[in-house]
Amino acid sequence: MMLKQIRAAVVMVVLFTAITGLIYPLAITGAAQLIFPEKANGSLMKKNGRIAGSELIGQPFSDPKYFWSRPSATSPFPYNAAASSGSNFGPLNPGLLTGVQKQIQELKKTDPLNAQPIPVDLVTASASGLDPHISIAAALYQVPRVARIRGISEDRVRTLVDRCTEGRGLGVLGEPRVHVLKLNLDPDGSQNRSEVQ
C-alpha cells in the first residue's frame, strides 16, 4: 500500500514538473514570440542596426552633449537591471540631502549659466532605480546645455523633446514624460524616428 502511494506521488511530481516547468513556459514563450516578438525580446531599441538599449530600462549619461537620466540608486553601478532598488533614504536622512546636493553641484558645474529651477527628478532616484523617463521639466531644463554644446538651436532641441514626449498611460494614468534614450539616440533631430524605436 505504501509503495503504491509513493509511486503515485512520484508520478504526480514528474507530471506536474513537466507541465509547469516545461510545457507551460514553452507555450507562453512561443505565444509571446508570435503575438508581440519585440516586447517578448526585451523591447530593444536599435540605431544603425545595433542594439542601443531597452525601452524599459534607463541608462546613465554623463557627457554634457546628451540629456541626462535621473540618478540611479542601483549597485554596484547605475541602472543595474539585476539590482533594481531605490536608495530607501527617507526625507530626514542625511544621505538623501548629501546625494541631492551632489547632483545639484554637478548640474550647476556643467551648465553654470542655467538659472532655471532644477527639477526634482534630476536630483533624486526613482523607486526602481531603472526609470528610463524624465519629466518634461527635466528635459526642458537641459535643452540650453545640449543645444549649446551641439551647436544647434534651442528650438530644434525643444522640437525633439516634443517628439520624444509620451502621454499619460491610457490617457489618464501618470504624468506626461520624456524617454531619455530616444532623445539621446537622435540628439540633433536628424535621424528618421523609425530607426531609433
- Whether residues 116 and 27 share a domain: the answer is no
Domain count, the chain: 2
Task: Give the pLDDT band of residue 189 (cuts 50, 70, 90).
Answer: low
Q: Mind listing the pLDDT tens digit for each residue in 91-135?
A: 888 888 898 999 999 999 999 989 999 999 999 988 888 899 999
- Whether residues 147 and 191 share a domain: the answer is yes
Q: Domain of 10? A: 1-41
Q: Mind listing the pLDDT tens digit for each residue in 101-112?
A: 999 999 999 999
Question: Angle between the 136-150 and 154-163 helix axes, to the nearest 10 degrees?
Answer: 140
- Whether residues 143 and 191 share a domain: the answer is yes
- Whether residues 25 and 60 share a domain: the answer is no
- Whether residues 146 and 59 share a domain: the answer is yes
| Stated pTM of the model | 0.76
- Whether residues 24 and 117 share a domain: the answer is no
